[in-house]
Structure formats: structure tokens, C-alpha cells
Amino acid sequence: DQQVKQNSPSLSVQEGRISILNCDYTNSMFDYFLWYKKYPAEGPTFLISISSIKDKNEDGRFTVFLNKSAKHLSLHIVPSQPGDSAVYFCAASAGDKIIFGKGTRLHILP
Amino acid sequence: GAGVSQSPSNKVTEKGKDVELRCDPISGHTALYWYRQSLGQGLEFLIYFQGNSAPDKSGLPSDRFSAERTGGSVSTLTIQRTQQEDSAVYLCASVQDRDRDGYTFGSGTRLTVV
């Protein structure tokens, strides 16, 4: 039973354009959501987070949007850069454990 | 050290053998997590240690898996009688208290069971 779902295994975006990565969740007890970025042969690194009391959090080129009624969140990257090519994991927490999705591989095209 | 260190980085073992994977967390981090990523899958929670509390073992897939954390620092994940489905990247993360933004992951151990 997948509690955090990333339905797009991969996404290709032109450099300079906006990348939008989507995530759905099923557990209404989740109160904190995160995005992690992972390069090959490295561990995931924290990117941005959002509390369930907010609907938007912005950090530089990265913005996370949360729609609680739809149990949906998205990560916007604008403008997309070559170094953004990586696997992005959506994650959610209802306490001390963080549950991760399967990831979306983002390719930034030159 | 500056980050979370995991060893070995790669391990190939024969089916039926036991393996031990090691994690050195960031000094002073009170919590330590083990996850694994199988091919095409997300990060699957395995076990969680927080301070001196009893570990949360709810993610361990079978009784062949066990983990310990000695002295509140180094952790060892042991897989007994390995099976081919155990092949995965095993990732360790440590965090200070309950800072949910503060998970720091190691680079993982890639385990291949042949």
C-alpha cells in the first residue's frame, strides 16, 4: 500500500523552462511534506519542505505547493538548470518516520 | 566526521550467506534510520533508532533482518541467509533530535546477492 505516490517515473524539460514534479498521498495524518534530490551513487539530499498548515513554500528557484483537499503536492523548479537533472523523491511524515515515494527522474535538456 | 559514512560501498554475496552493513552517523545526531531502495522502487523504511528508546522495527521485511546501534552511535544492519530479493541499495540517515528537515543520508551500500 503506497502512501506516497509519484506517478511519473521520468520527466524531460528544456533548460530555462519550468519543471513541475507531482506527488499524491493517501494518509490524511501526514502533517509535513518534503522533497529530496538524489544524484547517482549519492544519498538523497534535502531540498525543500512544507508544513500542512501552509499551502506554499518558496526557496530560490524551488517552490512547493500543497493542496490538502486533493492530497496533492507539487515541486516547481524555475528556471530549470542542467544541474537539476536528478531523481526527485517526494516524502511525507506524520511523526518520526518519513515515507518516500518511488521518485521521478528529471532530465534537463540543453 | 562531516557526513554519514556507510561501509562497504558495494557488497556482492552468495545466496544464503550473512552480511553486515555499517553506518557511522554524524556525531551528536540522536536518531538513525535505515532505508533500502530496490530497483525501480522508492526508499523503503526499515528501522529507526531514537536515543535510548526501543527501536521502531516495523519496516523490517522478515526476521532475517536485524539491526543494532551501539553506544548511541554506530549502527549495523545484519541480513541473515541472504536471498536474491535482498539485492538493493541500503541507505542510512541520521538526524539531530526530531528535525524533519535535517535528515542526512549516507551514500549507501549496494548489496548484490548472487
pLDDT per position as a tens digit, A82-96: 999 999 999 999 888
The DSSP call for residue A1 is -
Q: What's the CA angle centered on B19, arms B39 and B88, to 5 degrees? A: 5
Residues of A in contact with B102 (CB under 8 A): 46
CA distance A24 to B1: 36
Q: Say how far apart CA A36 and CA B17 lie, in whole Å.
A: 33
Task: Please tell me the distance in Å from B16's CA to the nearest CA on chain A.
Answer: 26
pLDDT of residue A97: 85
Which residues lie closer than 8 Å to B106 by C-beta, 6 or more apart? A43, B3, B4, B5, B6, B23, B91, B92, B93
CB contact under 8 A, B98 and A96: yes
pLDDT score of B1 = 52
Give me the residue from B33, B42, B93 closest to A102, CB to CB: B42
Segment B23-39 mean pLDDT: 93
Listed as ranges, residues in chain A with pLDDT below 70 are 1
Sheet strand arrangement including A19-25: A4-5, A19-25, A72-77, A62-67, A56-59
pLDDT of residue B96: 87
pLDDT, tens digit (0-9, with 9 covering 90-100), for B83-104: 999 999 999 999 987 788 889 9
Q: In percent, how much of chain A has pLDDT > 70?
A: 99
Highest mean pLDDT among B5-19, B51-65, B98-112: B5-19
A21, A31, A36, A98, best to mutate vs chain B, most B CBs in 10 Å: A98
Q: A44 and B105: CB-CB below 8 Å?
A: yes
For residue A52, give how far its alpha carbon lies from the nearest alpha carbon of chain B (Å): 13
Nearest residue of A to residue B40 by CA position? A102
Contact between chains at B40 and A101 (C-beta distance less than 8 A): no
Q: Is A43 in Cβ contact with B107 (below 8 Å)?
A: yes
Cα A43 to chain centroid distance, Å, stands at: 16
Predicted confidence (pLDDT) at residue B51 exceeds the cutoff of 90: no
For B100, which residue in chain A has the nearest alpha carbon? A96
Mean pLDDT of B14-29: 95
pLDDT value at residue B35: 96
